[in-house]
Amino acid sequence: MILELKPHVDAFAFIARLERMGFQAVRQSESTLSIVRGMDKKVLPELFTSLPEVAAVLPLKEKFKLASKAAKQKTVIQIKGKTIGGEELFVIAGPCSIESKEQMELCARMAFENGAQSLRGGAFKPRTSPYEFQGMGEEGLKILHDAAAHYNLVTISEVMDASQIDLVAKYTDILQIGARNMHNFTLLKELERVKNPILLKRGFAATYQDLLLAAEYIISGGNPNVILCERGIRTFETHTRNTLDLNAVPALKELTHLPIVVDPSHGTGRRSMVLPMARAAVAAGADGIMVEMHPDPDKAHTDGAQTIGPVLFEKMMKELNLIYKCLSSIDPSN
């Protein structure tokens, strides 16, 4: 349930009052609160309309209260002078796995020189086989941090387990929750420990509602800065690694205020398809793109087949910026 407050009501004092009544409320905007706990008892809206601070009570149709569009219009995340969900396209680029200092320095330079905002790299890798490269761990995180710091790039790396949260948060700006962990509710709850924005990837078989409920776990834990990531789902098609569901972009824009990033690398599994699907994602209204990029993709330890090299990356950045600019000159709501 959303409560719209009368003008000049002290929202913090009112939240404390609601707490004494057995409810937990979270501020959604200047004038709205959302009740996040206490609604399991059969509470009638009249209970709130009768309070002198309340102007209106708005029912919430969706199960995801805090992530819903009814709760808030737009989330814009500010980080290192860049914005996610704002007026610029946020491009995250870098290798699937951090492999060496040299590799990450080259990636950081490529990202910066071509106008990307963020450098990615996995230090803990969720590999299907236990015999494959598992990542460099803390040493890798230090390399990512140092390479990005040189160019003031925003860093992002995956957390696979709650025991890694503090370590990854120490070195990186944004924590990534991978597709395999989207349903790991214990891990999602543990994210309340940190203030870092969270990039939450859609599970292989997750619906939009599943994704938004996973986001709800993080937001209700007190971390409102969630970025959703469409990275493809499993379908009966075997030609591509996954099927990149670009319906997700306009659908999620209707359902939620959270920014949406598209990952055409995992979404296709094929290097040749990354650029066309990145173009399509921007045209569909994505707030950002995450691509796997490597100075020499054929030598990448992981996901080389879907990783683009310097030439393709440069071309992609030029084209995406053109498409993004073009979109701003038309009305994107049509």
How many other C-beta atoms are found inside a 10 Å radius of the C-beta of residue 88?
Answer: 15
The interface region with ligand PEP, picked from 7-15, 41-49, 86-94, 174-182 by CB under 6 A, is 174-182
Residues with Cβ within 8 Å of residue 190, at least 6 apart in sequence: 162, 165
φ/ψ of 230, rounded to 5, equals -85, 120
Query: Could you give the CA distance from residue 24 to residue 45 in angstroms, rounded to a whole number?
Result: 15
CB-nearer residue toward ligand PEP: 86 or 126? 126
3-state secondary structure of 307: coil
Q: Is 214 in the site for ligand PEP (CB under 6 A)?
A: no
Q: Is 95 in the site for ligand PEP (CB under 6 A)?
A: no
Q: Which residues pair with 228 in a beta bridge?
A: 200, 260
CB of 177 to ligand PEP, least distance (A): 8
- Check if the beta carbon of residue 121 is closer than 8 Å to that of residue 103: no
CB-nearer residue toward ligand PEP: 70 or 179? 179
Residue choice 65, 145, 231, 253 for contact with ligand PEP (CB under 6 A): 231
Query: Could you give the CA distance from residue 295 to residue 309 in angstroms, rounded to a whole number?
Result: 6
φ/ψ of 170, rounded to 5, equals -70, -35
Residue choice 201, 241, 253, 271 for contact with ligand PEP (CB under 6 A): 201
CB of 55 to Mn ion, least distance (A): 48
Q: Is 288 in the site for ligand PEP (CB under 6 A)?
A: no
CB of 264 to ligand PEP, least distance (A): 11
Q: Is 122 in the site for ligand PEP (CB under 6 A)?
A: yes
User: Under the rule (CB under 6 A), what is the footprint of ligand PEP?
Assistant: 96, 122, 126, 178-180, 201, 231, 266
